[in-house]
Amino acid sequence: MKSELLLGRPQAMSLTRLFGGTGNLGGAAAGLTGVLAGAVMLGARQRVSGVESVEGSGAGDAGRERSATGGRGAELEGPLIKQGAEAKIYKGFYLGKSTLVKERFKKSYRHVELDEHLTKERIRAETRSIMKCKVAGISTPALYLVDMGRRCIYMEYIENSITVKDYIASLTDENSEETSMKKKLEHIAQEIGKTLGKMHANNIIHGDLTTSNMLLVDKGDVKVLVMIDFGLSHGDASTMNKGVDLYVLERAILSTHANVESLFPAIIKFYIKTNKDAEEVMKKLEEVRARGRKRTMVG
């Protein structure tokens, strides 16, 4: 297959170009078929493994308008769900499906070319991490469309889900038996620990591990963990960065779920079972903790 997957558009970005070559997919590019949802043909556009990338050649409204009409089925119109420092999250539609649209808006305080460069690099890093997770068997939203012209990622809207943060809050608020609550928390810890161990074993650094960036999806009698918001993610084999990743989660849990002290140690227990480099990562986690305590004492 030619590297230029989207025909008839000189600046259109192929899957290979988006991820900087098939080598960055860890040799698993062939395994992506069927892993991501909805491979379809849109006229002369060819989408592979549920991902299409479109880059408008112009900037501003004209580029966005051309990209929007060229997307054929991608609609940004919809309610704003959330806005962070880097992006806005909308609920939109893609080929008639309810879709989550993440738009990285322009930063007026940055130089235009620098802003364009940083935005493209972060979109590439985010989509690359999501695809690596898919290949590794880690649940994430399916990618539908990567639209560089509009600075948007169209992805699966996860139905029947609740954030781990809200789920834990509901467990601690309700008058359930302590034994029942511990059992449910143990299941959550197991899912999180195994998932993070698998991510780090595949050199995927999330960068923003909090219980707000994890969803629990009802699958009958089982709740499946789905990782979301890879906006700060990147690929890295460094055990130090993996330790920092875990430290961020530990601090988030201590500040958000102070009444569930056993949660993080339980996560680590299952993390160690999943990641063969866990011993070295634990050493780095201790180093990062020591730095944090020193900063707290010094002020």
pLDDT band at 219 (very low <50, low <70, confident <90, very high): confident
- Give the pLDDT confidence of 157-171 residue by residue, as tens digits: 999 999 999 999 998
* Mode of pairing for the β-strands spanning 143-147 and 53-54: parallel
* Residue 208 among the catalytic residues: yes
pLDDT band at 180 (very low <50, low <70, confident <90, very high): confident
pLDDT band at 237 (very low <50, low <70, confident <90, very high): very high
Q: Kindly state the tokens that stand for 165.
A: 């943060």
Matching CATH topology for 80-156 and 161-294? Answer: no
The residues near 108 (Cβ < 8 Å, ≥ 6 apart) are none
Residue 194 has pLDDT above 60, yes or no: yes
The predicted structure's pLDDT at residue 43: 27
Residue in the block written with tokens 């055990």: 239
The predicted structure's pLDDT at residue 172: 78
Residue 48 has pLDDT above 60, yes or no: no
The predicted structure's pLDDT at residue 178: 76
pLDDT band at 173 (very low <50, low <70, confident <90, very high): confident
Nearest to 49 by CA among 65, 58, 63, 37: 37
pTM of the model: 0.76
Catalytic residue among 208, 221, 245, 277: 208
The residues near 130 (Cβ < 8 Å, ≥ 6 apart) are 140, 141, 143, 155, 230
Question: Does domain 80-156 bear CATH number 3.30.200.20?
Answer: yes
Return mean pLDDT, the chain. Answer: 79
Name which CATH class applies to 161-294: mainly alpha
- Give the pLDDT confidence of 79-138 residue by residue, as tens digits: 899 998 889 999 988 888 889 999 999 999 999 999 999 999 999 999 999 999 999 999
In angstroms, the CA 270 to CA 208 distance is 20
In angstroms, the CA 258 to CA 52 distance is 42
Instruction: Give residue limits of the domains in the chain.
Output: 80-156, 161-294
pLDDT band at 181 (very low <50, low <70, confident <90, very high): confident
Residue in the block written with tokens 């990209």: 67
Evaluate whether 236 touches 161 at the Cβ level (below 8 Å).
no
One-letter-per-residue 3-state SS of the chain: CCCCCECCCCCCCCHHHHCCCHHHHCCCHHHHCCCCCCCCEECCEECECCECEECCCCCHHHHHHHHHHHHCCEECCCCEEEECCCCEEEEEEECCEEEEEEECCCCCCCCHHHHHHHHHHHHHHHHHHHHHHHHHCCCCCCEEEEECCCCEEEEECCCCEEEHHHHHHHHHHCCCCHHHHHHHHHHHHHHHHHHHHHHHHCCEECCCCCHHHEEEEEECCEEEEEECCCCCCEECCCHHHHHHHHHHHHHHHHHHCCCCCCHHHHHHHHHHHHCCCHHHHHHHHHHHHHHHHHHHHHC
pLDDT band at 177 (very low <50, low <70, confident <90, very high): confident
pLDDT band at 47 (very low <50, low <70, confident <90, very high): very low
In b/e form, how buried is each residue of 71-83, taking b as 16+ CB within 10 angstroms? beebbbebeeeee
The separation between CA 76 and the C-alpha centre of its own chain, rounded to angstroms, equals: 20
Considering only residues 167 and 69, tell me which one the structure prediction assigns the higher pLDDT.
167
The values of phi and psi at residue 112, to 5°, are -55, -50
